[in-house]
Amino acid sequence: MSANQQMAAKYKNSFLKEVEDQVEMGEWVKMCMQCGVCSGSCPTNFHPGWEHPPQEIFMMIRAGKREEVLTSPSMWMCTSCYNCIVRCPRKLPITHIMHGLANYAHRLGVAPKGQPTRAFSKLFWNNAIATGRVNELKLSIGLYFKDAEGKINIGQGIKQGLAMQKVALGLLKAKRLNPFEIFGGHKCKDQKGIHAMLKKARELEEKRKAIKA
């Protein structure tokens, strides 16, 4: 049984309860009063990636539409501008709930494939935890040579690299870009310690969620 099926079976009819237990800040979902100020405040203006504005997602959670919510690309579209949090009359941490939902969907493996935010997040995370420092050169190259599905695409990488040539040279001149970073690059002092820390953090989170459930 996949992680997704396990969770679905565990919470049977109550997706709201599942969100409250498993999603970061999920306990706030029930407090939405459907005023729609969050949607009205969103600067993304809901370009097509946003299938459902935040208050609609909250209502879908309450209506038990598990599949539709978790596979939705909507929460991945959030740019973390925090406008909705500032304006919400019920003080819901909407941005955090969006990220919480996205993260949960990712953990269950049901998040939309090839969603660019998700692809970039994965790339960034792996890049950052490898050495404990973000390697910007590797990150941008990694980004250029991958297509929307996350597959390596040499032609596209060269094309995008050439398009950004001027910027790269400028950065080089200003000493903001070190080409030797390609060979490993700078690292933090205690890599093992970082990894141990992340491992412990994950353990704690899982424990907390297990208690809540």
Partner 1 sequence: MAEEKKFAAYICKGCGLGERLDADKLAGIAQKEGKMQVVKQHDFLCNADGVAMIKNDIANEGVTHIMIGACSRRAKTEAFYFPNNAVTRANLREGVIWIRPDTEEARETTQDMAEDYIRMGCAEVKAMTAPGGNVNTGSNRTLLVVGGGVTGMTAALEASKTGYPVVLVEKTGALGGWAAKLWKRIPVHEPFKAPADTGVSDLVAQVEADPSIKVYLNSTIAKTDGAPGRFVVEIATESGGINTEDIGSIIQATGFELYDANKLPHLGYGKSPNVVDQAGLEALAKAANGGPILRPSDGKPVTSVAFVQCAGQRDPSGEHLPYCSGYCCNASIKQAMYFKDGNPAIDTTVIYTDLRTPGNGEDFYRSAQEKGVIFTKGKVGSVAANGNNCTVNFHDLILDDQNAQIEADLVVLATGQVPNSGVNIDMTAEEKADDDAAEAAATEASAASGQPMQFSKKVSVLNLSYRQGTDVPQFKWGFTDSHFICFPYETRRTGIYTAGPVRRPMDMVQAREDATGAALKAIQALENAQLGRAAHPRSGDLSFPKVRLEGCTQCKRCTVECPFGAIDEDERRFPLFNESRCRRCGTCMGACPVRVISFENYSVDTVGSQIKAVDIPDEFSEKPRILILACENDAYPALDMAAMKRNEYSAFVRVIPVRCLGSVNTIWITDALNAGYDGVMLMGCKHGEEYQCHFVKGSELGRYRLSKVGDTLKNMNLETERVKDLEVAITDIDNLPRIINEYAQQIVDMGMSPFKGF
Please report, as ranges, the residues that interact with partner 1 according to CB under 8 A: 16, 30-31, 33-34, 55-56, 59-60, 62-63, 65, 90
CB of 40 to partner 1, least distance (A): 14
Distance between CA atoms of residues 194 and 143, nearest Å: 24
In the complex with partner 1, which residue's Cβ is closer, 27 or 136? 27
In the complex with partner 1, which residue's Cβ is closer, 21 or 142? 21
Which helix (H) or strand (E) covers residue 119, if one does? helix 116-131
- DSSP assignments along 56-67, one per residue: HHHHHHHTT-HH
In the complex with partner 1, which residue's Cβ is closer, 35 or 152? 35
CB of 125 to partner 1, least distance (A): 33
CB of 123 to partner 1, least distance (A): 34
| List of residues 6+ apart from 110 with CB closer than 8 A | 4, 67, 70, 71
In the complex with partner 1, which residue's Cβ is closer, 61 or 111? 61
At CA 18, angle to CA 16 and CA 22, rounded to 5? Answer: 125
Write down the residue that tokens 């501008």 correspond to.
Answer: 81
CB of 25 to partner 1, least distance (A): 15
- 3 state SS of 152: strand
Contact 11, 18 (CB under 8 A): yes
- 3 state SS of 146: strand
In the complex with partner 1, which residue's Cβ is closer, 30 or 133? 30
The partner residues of 146 in beta bridges, in order of sequence, read 152
CB of 190 to partner 1, least distance (A): 44
CB of 144 to partner 1, least distance (A): 40
In the complex with partner 1, which residue's Cβ is closer, 29 or 108? 29
Distance between CA atoms of residues 213 and 17, nearest Å: 9
Contact 53, 42 (CB under 8 A): yes
The CA-to-CA distance between both ends of the chain, in Å, stands at 19
